[in-house]
Structure 1
Amino acid sequence: MPARILTIAQQKGGAGKTTLAAQLAVAWARAGRRVGLLDIDPQGSLAAWFALRRQALGEEDGLAFVQAAGWRLGTELDRLRADRDLVLIDSPPHAETEVRIAVRAADLILVPVQPSPMDLWATAPTLEIARREKSPALVLLNRAPARGRLVERIRAELVAQGVTLAETGLGNRIAFAGAMLEGRGVSETEPRGTAAAEIAALAAELAARLGLPES
């Protein structure tokens, strides 16, 4: 089966794209999948996380990593997908050319949205790129409190816009930041915690949508 490609995209910075890429990659690798990570964000946050991970764990963790942009993007993506089950692309904000390439290549676009009006408004350009490239998009409520009127208003507005919402949502949990600082995932640092349970549920939902066989 050819590698499935998940692009994480959002035009607004600070939406949690890099954390999502790292946490999902670790969860899938621990489930026995061969996972590739492609960082096309010039900021290089995913590269910094991966460097910490290599220092702590060495090479044998089921993850492959490449940082690329511009003309190298397509070549590196082809190289990763050749021997991986799944490739995650961490895309930059405000770089339409690279984002369009990453969206076009993807089997699914994951669009994180924090429960704020600014994030809601910033989502439209990303969804429009996905629509133009004919790539399916899934919106994820990220860093959301357990309950609250604003969360429900944002959710209702997204539904009214006709977007597809992930069944799983992620809470605003310090465990994610703590794991990132160690070059790890929450499924490693706090495997029985709520954050790990949320990531596991999201990974399972995305795997089903991508048509991946059960691990």
Structure 2
Amino acid sequence: MKILAVISQKGGVGKTTLATALAVAAEQDGKSVALFDLDPQASACFWADRRKATGKGETPVVRDVNFNRLPHVLEAMRSGGADLVILDCPPQQRDIADAALSAADMVLIPTRAEALDIRAMTQTVRLTQQMGKRASVVLTFCPPTGAEIEQAREIVAQLKSDLVPVSIHLRKAYARAQQDGQAAQEYEPTSKAAAEIQSLYKYSAIALYGETQHGKAKTKSRRTP
């Protein structure tokens, strides 16, 4: 079982949007997936409620998890045969961040290419490094043009962290899909938003599971936990 933590010390950078979309992408790839909502605001749980209410299904499994119980719940998922657990973490909660980082096999840090967001991203990267983990930074809400994107990329390089080679742009499909309990690739399967999520998922799967074979990461499919 692999654990992916989606984390940032600042809100409004798209953590839950990416966590839910990646959970759906992993399930579409045949994996047994669980999404743990560690945020007291419970945005991922709200997404799951909307998903059930609109008839989109009972999976991916989304659970409201107290960080103090995280090791125990993860062990139960491991025993149950889960392939992937995604941790949707809240901003500005050092104790929750420490618990998530301790467990994570991969750390994904979303950030806007704006001054306050970059400052928070820098803090999150350093916290990740202090925990002995390597950070993967993904730029979110990217505008079509602007020097800010290139400046953000240079800062990520200076921090000696990994820059995800796909940017998540400001697209209506993301927000509309969330409101309906879907991921962008479900809401508009042929859209640019869907392509971005699939590229981000491919990057994450390779980072988590190793090199690809015939274009797909080497994984095993199991029943949904």
TM over 0.5: yes
Question: Contact 2:9 / 2:90 at 8 angstroms: preserved in 1?
Answer: yes
Closer, same or farther in 2 for the Cα pair 1:41/1:60, shift >3 Å?
A: closer
Which of 63, 67, 72 is residue 69 of structure 2 equivalent to? 72
Instruction: State how far apart, in whole Å, the 1-side matches of 2:198 and 2:219 are.
Output: 13
Matching residue of 2:218: 213
Q: Helix, strand or coil for the counterpart of 1:15?
A: coil
- What secondary structure, in the 3-state scheme, does the structure 2 residue paired with 1:176 have? helix
Give yes or no for contact 2:109–2:136 (8 Å, CA) kept in 1: yes
- The one-letter code matched in structure 1 to 2:26 is W
C-alpha contact 2:122 2:159 (8 A) present in aligned 1: no
Return the offset for 1:214: 5.5
- CA deviations on 1:69-106 (whole Å, 9 max, x unpaired) are 14222222222333211110000111111110111100
For 1:132 and 1:160, locate their aligned partners in 2 and report how far apart those are by CA, in whole Å: 16
CA contact (8 A) 1:8 1:88 kept: yes
**8 Å Cα contact 2:5-2:108 kept in structure 1:** yes
Relative distance call for 1:147 and 1:125 in structure 2 (3 A) is same
**Partner of residue 135 from structure 1, selected from 124, 133, 136:** 133
Give the % identical residues.
33
Contact 1:38 1:77 (8 Å CA) reproduced: no
Q: For 2:169, what is the secondary structure of its paired residue?
A: coil
- Cα drift, residue 60 of structure 1: 5.1
Worse-matched range after superposition: 136-145 or 158-167: 158-167
8 Å contact from structure 2 (residues 52, 58) kept in 1: no
1:111 partner SS: strand
Residue pairs, 1:28-43, within 5 angstroms: 28-43=26-41
Q: CA deviation at 1:13?
A: 1.0
- Aligned pair count reads 212
Amino acid of the residue matched to residue 23 of structure 1? A
Distance in 2, matches of 1:160 and 1:131, equals: 13
Equivalent position SS for 1:140: strand
Give yes or no for the alignment of 1:46 onto 2:44: yes
- Please give the alpha-carbon distance, in whole angstroms, between the structure 1 residues aligned to 2:72 and 2:57: 23
In 2, Cα distance between the equivalents of 1:172 and 1:58? 24
Q: Quote the residue 2:23 is aligned against.
A: 25
User: In structure 1, how many angstroms separate the alpha carbons of the residues matched to 2:45 and 2:16?
Assistant: 10
* Residue of structure 2 in register with 1:111 after alignment: 109
The two structures have a TM-score, normalised by structure 2, of 0.89
SS of the aligned residue for 2:143 comes to coil
User: Does the 8 Å CA contact 1:81/1:87 hold for their aligned counterparts?
Assistant: no
2:78 corresponds, among 71, 81, 105, to: 81
Contact 1:36/1:81 (<8 A) preserved = no
Asked if structure 2 preserves the Cα contact closer than 8 Å seen for 1:89 and 1:102, the reply is yes
- Secondary structure of 2:54's counterpart equals helix
Measured in 2, the distance between the counterparts of 1:198 and 1:112 equals 14
Task: Report if aligned partners of 1:140, 1:166 keep a CA contact under 8 Å in 2.
Answer: yes
Q: Which runs of 5+ in 1 are unaligned?
A: none
Q: Which residue number in structure 2 is paired with residue 124 of structure 1? A: 122
